[in-house]
Structure 1
């Protein structure tokens, strides 16, 4: 083994704290080689590392032994064997897979919902406000969202799709749920009236029918079709189950404080989607968006549904469980699991949260979860 001379760098004071060790899982090595990693976060936020499709929390782990960062001497003439100590490291950064942090998007898009007739109203407002318009509203583009949100591109795209956010004229705008329901019902109606198979719909034909007969913008119709099916080579293959689910949510949404009888709800849902798609109607499609309650004192017993979407619950796990147990004192495992899908990265993380915040008690019908005592 060659002998090396070890010495401190003359710039030690400047180098101290300049280096970090990051422990990479094996599945991230290719992402590093391809330079597809980015670290995101404002100064007041914990940093996260994002790949093209995943988000990781950066966590500091203290090392029991210090690690020296050394480099060859800058004065090395090819014959010298000096090694210079540049810094000492006492911790390593560990990556932990986590859910993307997208809660800021809702506040950034508030007040920019898109609905039928809204464009005409805004044109009038812009004319009245003149140059002051720019001071009243800041548009959020897709690129802006990528820069400010702690999430990977794939997770952002999925979130925008799931939250039904349109990209109109370079601006992100959530579609008003009631208008989305109207568009979907029009799509189902036009498929029947035009004798089109939902597995192979000429996209231009459907767009023309929606625009000409119902004033639905073509770019809006195209994006809605993209959310609820596959667009390729000018043809649209509709995801019937996804559309039926969204129509069901549209019917249930007004019943946040006014429960609806389950049988009446299912009947309205089947009517709304028509005979062709009524077979797809199932409460399982709406898991994580409603509470059911049965009044056994009635004859026959009456089951009612209340709208409770997990997307509008707190993202902090402690607050999430607090709201869930205020809504209901006891939960079965299959009932509470859908309400934790967006705060737990996988089933293992979900079980850890249940262990931390709930108490599992065997009972009639299986295991029941109740709030853990303070």
Structure 2
């Protein structure tokens, strides 16, 4: 197809249709539209077909603060928006309000002209990325729900001060670069709860206190930890001074509720809670830790060190084994920062120790093996030896 550029003539016909319908052996002239210019408010966006329905039906949003690169979010995924320059000229031609000449008409020989409105230097393309959930954790950590929340609210200016660092759903979708589904998943992984219209994480000491009270009441009232009546448990905890929302939250953090309102405590979650509490004091000898841990957990539950995968690390000091807290939940979700922290903690990792700390990483288009190739160096002295990973 041949093209030539000229200044638009009054009797020229055509437009975008002239280019769309032109035959391979035909030609069309290009002219400058009367409104030709840079038109910086117009940007070309290249879309995958699977995203087209979401865009056409207005089911996407651009999210990000002024100091952040924008991302485009569908309901379930997040995409980085990147500008890609083009070496060839990309011409924008508006639709014509005139008839485009086609076929064998009496005006067949009349010249077709497509008026160029803008020359685009490039396009915006979308690349699927992991949600920026670390910012969610930072925001919710500004003002965790404490024991004395109600007391603070009753103090002069208490309401004004207590609302600082609080975020409702609309605040979070404005500040966190994640799709709605990814944001909900992030709130769940942080054990966040909506209280008074704001999403909060509950202070660790508060969670410890309400769990201990629940276990104490279970003994007093002869409750089975595998068949708890949700309504009864919540009413009793409320009579002990805990808000209903926190009582419900406790059951869901440390257990599960069936449709019939019957709940059960999860052995692993409860045991993990007490292990974390014990190790807050710092590194402990393994034997002392296991004795203390066994004392803390409720009757009928059995602690297993396997429960602490991704929560603690061990090290040899002489002939003794010591254990200390190192939770995957405290690590950043971005792979570069995650591996940097891991190798600051240990210069070399065996696979059995490293795997719990990277299996939750979500990088679209990159498998766990791909992450290891990108961020680590693997050594294996012999074919049957355990591989060892170090920083690349």
- TM-score band by shorter chain is 0.7 to 0.9
Matched ranges for 1:193-212 at <5 A: 193-196=220-223, 198=225, 200-212=227-239
Q: Which of 136, 140, 162 does residue 109 from structure 1 map onto? A: 140
Report the Cα distance in structure 2 between the residues aligned to 1:10 and 1:167, rounded to whole angstroms: 56
- Retained in 2: the 8 A contact 1:181–1:246? no
CA apart distance, 1:19: 2.2
CA RMSD of aligned residues (A): 3.4
1:311 aligns with 2:334: no
Partner of 2:298: 274
Confirm whether residue 283 of structure 1 aligns to residue 309 of structure 2: no
Q: Which residue of 1 aligns with 2:77?
A: 54
Hey, what's the Cα distance between the residues in 1 that align with 2:163 and 2:212? 35
Q: Quote how far apart the aligned CAs of 1:205 are.
A: 0.9
1:219 aligns with 2:230: no
Structure with the higher fraction of residues in helix conformation? 1
1:51 & 1:11 partners in 2: Cα distance? 34
Match of 2:125 in 1: 94
Unaligned runs of 5+ in 2: 1-20, 103-111
Evaluate the alpha carbon distance shift between residue 238 and residue 134 of structure 1 in structure 2; reply closer, same or farther with a 3 A threshold. same
The residue number in structure 1 matching 2:386 is 366
Is residue 2:58 matched to residue 1:35? Answer: yes
Residue 171 (structure 1) aligns with: 198
**Using a 3 Å threshold, how does the CA distance of structure 1 residues 367 and 60 change in structure 2: closer, same or farther?**
farther
Deviation at 1:163, TM superposition (A): 1.8
Per-residue displacement from partner, 1:227-255 (whole Å, max 9, x unpaired)? 44554656144461553354245325504
Q: Structure 1 residues 335, 138: CA separation in 2 closer, same or farther (over 3 Å shift)?
A: closer
Q: Which moved more, 1:154-163 or 1:309-318?
A: 309-318
Deviation at 1:165, TM superposition (A): 2.4
Which residue is equivalent to 1:259?
283
Q: Against the structure 1 CA distance between its residues 23 and 239, is the aligned structure 2 distance closer, same or farther, given a 3 Å change threshold?
A: farther
Residue 337 of structure 1: aligned partner: 355
Q: Say which SS state the counterpart of residue 127 (structure 2) adopts.
A: strand
Deviates more, 1:269-278 or 1:152-161: 269-278
Give the conservation status (yes or no) of the 8 Å contact 1:247–1:272: no
Counterpart check, 1:140 vs 2:167 = yes
Change (3 A) 1:25 1:275: farther
Taking the aligned partners of 1:30 and 1:186, their CA distance within structure 2 comes to 51
Q: 1:320 aligns with which of 338, 350, 372?
A: 338
For residues 184 and 341 of structure 2, the distance between their equivalents in structure 1, rounded to whole angstroms, comes to 28
- Residue 10 of structure 2 is matched in structure 1 by none
Structure 1 residue 304, shift from structure 2 partner: 1.8
Match of 1:67, SS state, is: strand
Separation in structure 1 between the aligned mates of residue 355 and residue 117 of structure 2, nearest angstrom: 50
Q: Is the Cα–Cα contact under 8 Å of residues 90 and 121 in structure 2 kept in the other structure?
A: yes
Given that residues 57 and 96 in structure 1 are in contact (C-alpha distance below 8 angstroms), is that contact kept between their aligned partners in structure 2? yes
TM-score after normalising by structure 1: 0.80
User: Whose Rg is larger?
Assistant: 2
Mapped contact 2:143–2:165 kept (Cα < 8 A): no
Cα deviation code 1:47-79 (max 9, x no counterpart): 212222222222334445343332312x42677
Aligned to 2:177: 150
Change (3 A) 1:250 1:115: farther
* Change in 2 beyond 3 A, CA 1:135/1:245: closer
Report Cα offsets for 1:297-340 as digits up to 9, x if no partner: 32xxx322111223333455444333322221210123223323
1:244 is matched with 270
